[in-house]
Chain A
């Protein structure tokens, strides 16, 4: 790998690796509302990513009709927009909605 490639791998690992093996959620008493919203949106975003992954798999395998593909894509796209919209209202970026859930893993 070239140097700039090594550095981008390093940068990605900085973000990814420094998480506890045990997922921790901590409600900050000064900002419980934002804490709760963050947890809820994280879990929903996790499920959305699962759904998206399966939809893409089915699309690749050809087990969806064109109409089903369209409906699925639209629905998942709208869920993503809604989640990000809600998150933004609480000053949360998409990257904030990523929690390592141990054996449930992380999808991104």
Chain B
């Protein structure tokens, strides 16, 4: 997804009851992100996309292998 519409999300958050707030938290803030892009730009012009793939784990687990 290229961009989550900030204003749409804001609107929902303002008027949501507790159950919808929970859904917003789980569904918009969590879940696997299938594509991970970082966009770099200048003066509101997108110039560079970086596709990222990173594995993170504890160093002592790596050493144990």
The answer on direct contact between A and B (beta carbons under 8 Å) is yes
A20 to B10, CA, bound (A): 12
Q: Which of A23-31, A77-85, A86-94 contacts B (4 or more CB under 8 A)?
A: A23-31
The smallest beta-carbon distance between B21 and chain A, in angstroms, is 5
Let me know if A102 and B35 touch, CB within 8 A: yes
Question: Which of B13, B32, B33 sits near A17, CB closer than 8 Å?
Answer: B13
Known A-B contacts A25-B40, A27-B42; the reply to A18 vs B58 at CB < 8 A is no
Size of the chain A interface, CB-CB below 8 angstroms: 30
Let me know if A21 and B13 touch, CB within 8 A: no
Let me know if A6 and B4 touch, CB within 8 A: no
The smallest beta-carbon distance between A50 and chain B, in angstroms, is 7
- Consensus secondary structure, chain B interface: mixed
Q: Considering the complex, give the chain B residue whose CB is closest to the CB of A102.
A: B36
The smallest beta-carbon distance between A31 and chain B, in angstroms, is 11
Let me know if A103 and B42 touch, CB within 8 A: no
Which residues on the A side are within 8 Å of B41 (C-beta)? Answer: 24-27
Q: Considering the complex, give the chain B residue whose CB is closest to the CB of A54.
A: B58
Question: Which of A13, A21, A50 sits near B1, CB closer than 8 Å?
Answer: A21
List 22 A–B pairs whose Cβ atoms lie within 8 Å, in order of A's numbering.
A6-B21, A10-B13, A13-B24, A14-B13, A17-B29, A19-B6, A20-B4, A20-B6, A22-B1, A22-B2, A22-B37, A22-B38, A24-B39, A25-B40, A54-B59, A58-B58, A63-B60, A101-B36, A101-B52, A102-B33, A102-B38, A103-B54
